[in-house]
Amino acid sequence: MNTLSSKLTSSTSARFSAFRLIDWSMRRELWEYRSIIWGPVIGLGAVLALYLVFLVKISWLPTHSSHMPVIGLEELRSWSGIVTTFLGLIGFVVGLHYSAGTLLAERRERTLLFWKSLPVSDAHAVLAKIAVSLLVLPAIVLALAAFHDLLVLGVLAFLPHDWSVSGALAVFGVQLGRTALFLMVWAAPAYAWAFLVSGVVRRAPTLWLLGLPVGLLLAEHMATPFDWLSRVATGYAGMGGALISTIRTQTCVRHAAGLPPAPPWGGEVHGECVQTGLRSGAELVTEWGVPMTACVVVAAVFFTLAVLRRRRAEAI
């Protein structure tokens, strides 16, 4: 009994210690690479600065009508899509820049020898870097995108409208979770390839990082029926107008049914909108299940190779 208890205690302590090491390594990465946080934030600041130009042009906002025109919501949806796509591209570029430079910088600056002297394994060190790319950075981008859409929603909620705010939020939560999973899984092979390049090359990582994928993209386009690389780019675009497209769906449904305008911050959750969100989740499993599984496998192979390479790495 005492032996079993001691084994459980040691196993729990080991897991806790591993978690603490990864957490400490992630904090170190965020402290060393501030661009992971400030890149998307500066991008959102630039977008909000351009918002003034957009506000001047939104002459479609109702003044005397009790209904918001559907065309106005479509314009707002397009703007939201542009904003979120812009944030997604910034996050993707920041993630690639970080992934392609972090292992190479350790060897160039000879800090690799210092980190290897600490009681942190290569697997823990690389896993912390992977977590920053696949968890922290997408979370920052999604939070900023959600903040932007909720800010727009908060302004529109006090204007005459034909949609339910709570319904829009409910479906937006489903779509946001679907988008987060889509982005993290489908971006994983690109980040994993960048980590492997960073651990192998001695110079010109951008050439290797972009050269081979571009060649594969051309070969994919000309010789195969697949379109994975193009879907990685369009995946961020799909994150764009999730909230506003939900509002547009409710507007069209209420107009078609001849219903009166929904009260501000109404509690209605339209069944058609909920079904739309559930259908999008079902389509994700049926249509994208196999490609997403392939992405996970490819990313796992690249990440494993990056860990093995770091074990043999030496300072440049």
Domain coordinates of the chain in residue numbers?
34-54+65-312
CA distances, 19 to each of 13, 132, 228 (Å): 10, 14, 34
* Cα 182 from Cα 180, distance rounded (Å): 5
Contact between 113 and 13 (Cβ < 8 Å)? no
- Segment 39-50 shows an average pLDDT of 79
| Integer Cα distance of 61 and 216 in angstroms | 46
Conformation bin of residue 148: beta by default, left when phi > 0, alpha when psi is -120 to 50: alpha
Residue 44 reports pLDDT greater than 60:
yes
pLDDT above 80: residue 80 = no
Q: 276 is written with which tokens?
A: 């739309």
Interacting residues of 274 by C-beta distance below 8 A, sequence separation 6+ = 167, 170, 171
Fill in the DSSP letter of residue 224: -
pLDDT band at 174 (very low <50, low <70, confident <90, very high): low
Taking 50 as the threshold, does the pLDDT of residue 161 lie above it?
Answer: yes
Per-residue model confidence as pLDDT tens digits over 87-126: 777 888 888 889 888 888 888 877 777 777 777 778 888 8
pLDDT band of residue 266 (cuts 50, 70, 90) is very low
Contacts of 90 (CB under 8 A, 6+ apart): 39, 40, 43, 141
User: So what's the pLDDT on residue 255?
Assistant: 45
Q: Integer distance in angstroms from the first to the last C-alpha of the chain?
A: 52
Handedness of CA 283, 289, 291, 295 (dihedral sign): positive
More confident residue, 260 or 111: 111
pLDDT category at 35 given cuts 50, 70, 90 is: confident
Query: Is the pLDDT at 180 greater than 50, yes or no?
Result: yes
Q: Which has the minimum average pLDDT: 49-63, 97-111, 113-127, 227-241?
A: 227-241
Asked if the model's pLDDT at residue 36 lies above 80, the reply is yes
Is-contact 22 131, C-beta < 8 A? yes
Q: For residues 249-272, give the mean pLDDT.
A: 45
**Is the distance from CB of 93 to CB of 35 less than 8 angstroms?**
no
Q: Which residue has the higher pLDDT, 301 or 234?
A: 301
**pLDDT over 70 for what percent of the chain?**
52
Residue type, 179: T
Task: Tell me how far CA of residue 4 lies from CA of 7, 13, 112, 214, 314, in angstroms.
Answer: 5, 14, 39, 55, 41
What value, to the nearest 5°, has the Cα angle with vertex 36 and ends 32 and 38?
A: 100
Q: State pLDDT tens for residues 148-158.
A: 777 777 766 66
How high is the pLDDT of residue 254? 45
- Which amino acid would we find at residue 38? W
**pLDDT score of 301:** 92
What is the pTM for the complete model shown?
0.69
Higher pLDDT, 162 or 301: 301
| CB of 148 closer than 8 Å to CB of 84 | yes
Tell me the mean pLDDT in the region 178-191: 74
**Residue 269, pLDDT above cutoff 70:** no
DSSP-H helix ranges across the chain = 2-32, 35-57, 70-108, 111-117, 122-131, 137-156, 165-200, 205-223, 228-238, 242-257, 271-312
| Residue 61 C-beta-side C-alpha neighbours within 13 Å | 13
pLDDT of 306 strictly over 60:
yes
**What's residue 164's pLDDT?**
59
For range 52-57, the mean pLDDT: 60
Question: What confidence category does residue 249 fall into, taking pLDDT thresholds of 50, 70 and 90?
Answer: very low
Residue 67 in this model has a pLDDT that exceeds 80: no
Token pair in block for residue 303:
């990440």
